[in-house]
Structure 1
């Protein structure tokens, strides 16, 4: 089959065949088998990631932030987990001073509301070498609310992000900080959703279905979800939402059993 695109002078697309609804559903079910296998493999990889060894961070690092100087520990904002994306916005970067790197800016555009990460004891920050005044100006122009700090020392060189973008993950135990994971290159392009960020943290999504080491925090799936303006620290799940989500899960199980 060829499409009407060729009428506009573009090369004809060799599109897939058009079939009946029954044949289409059969094809979808065949593909779904592979998609479910991929999902299970992704979950297994995340479980393995949660068992990676940790590296102690022995060196002190200092950043500039909206409220002045901040240590790496300060970047956690009191939470246990920290995700740090190195964004290129500084003199010498294409787009300076009006814009950050196009790729890093696309990453920033895709970041989900950080309240959902915060609810899982996780903080996300971006870091660049641009001064805070320029970062504040860029955030206002682009509509970004991500906490964004200025690198002032060797943090980028020490954690593999001096010459290229990358995402580092850290865990805080009191005043001790550990590096737990690092991802860059094409691994960064999938980042942005709450789920993908949590999947690279040492604690994961913290839901009961996950394969995590003994003693890791876990709560029932769906029950902790909330509107981004309604999370309250240490609050119990909303009773009405628990009822709604349980009814949805039951209906889904019934449909699956009937297939």
Structure 2
């Protein structure tokens, strides 16, 4: 017997139809879904053409190994994504938990090796001391680098009172702010694709509409198991992909 049946609302469910009717309805909706996908691709292409804002100030963070500059957070890569998570005194849940919304987002972050393979680093930043951050990460099973904000970084980049995702690029010994996502825009963050779509270089695949000179490789070919990016590409995998791409016409 369903113990929750009596507490559930009386739902007005959709019509029950045949397989043919169901498939026709799905195909009708699929047209709109593809339009949404193409609109999202177009938005990402426009984002890659956004003007950049030079970061003129020096910022200092604390990490597990001591002081770090904003440049240090790039970890040798060109792109940096910084999510400001609320974990500090005064936040509901302290000291056992970070903000519930920020924690829900952290639970969705994919394996960072895939971002790293596209010259991109993701980090979290809060005002909590490193000892508390280390304890929280261990409890929750989170692996992303997580730094302590020590100065006006959060106020300068619009994340002192609310969460948000800032994107930076390192070019010719300078750092630039390239994009900013907050409010409900952060709901989509977590997957490798959503993070790459927010960066100036994008997914770096040939099908993308990117400015001239931007790095691009064939789709699928750079994908790998997260523990084998350092290994040489498997020639058998490359052969399978070449055949598939030729059939799908995705590599042209």
Cα distance in 1 for residues equivalent to 2:139 and 2:38: 40
The aligned runs of 1:85-164 (5 Å cut-off) are 85-164=83-162
Cα distance in 2 for residues equivalent to 1:10 and 1:53: 51
SS of the counterpart of 2:107?
helix
Cα distance in 2 for residues equivalent to 1:157 and 1:240: 50
The equivalent of 2:236 in structure 1 is 240
The equivalent of 2:33 in structure 1 is 35
Q: Note the alpha carbon deviations across 1:229-252, whole angstroms, 9 max, x for none.
A: 1112xx664322222334444566
What is the CA distance between 1:173 and its match in structure 2? 1.2
Cα distance in 2 for residues equivalent to 1:83 and 1:21: 45
4+ residue runs of structure 1 moved beyond 3 angstroms? Answer: 4-7, 246-253
SS of the counterpart of 2:241?
helix
Gaps of 5+ in 1: 254-259
SS of the counterpart of 2:11?
coil
What is the CA distance between 1:209 and its match in structure 2? 0.1
Cα distance in 2 for residues equivalent to 1:10 and 1:140: 37
The equivalent of 1:198 in structure 2 is 196
Judged with a 3 Å threshold, the aligned counterparts in structure 2 of structure 1 residues 252 and 17 are, in CA distance, closer, same or farther, namely farther
Q: TM-score scaled to structure 1, two decimals?
A: 0.92
SS of the counterpart of 1:110?
coil
Contact 1:170-1:178 within 8 A present in 2 as well: yes
The aligned runs of 1:13-24 (5 Å cut-off) are 13-24=11-22
Q: TM-score scaled to structure 2, two decimals?
A: 0.94
The equivalent of 2:67 in structure 1 is 69
Contact 1:6-1:12 within 8 A present in 2 as well: no
Contact 1:124-1:146 within 8 A present in 2 as well: yes
Cα distance in 1 for residues equivalent to 2:127 and 2:87: 7
Contact 1:73-1:175 within 8 A present in 2 as well: no
Aligned positions, number: 248
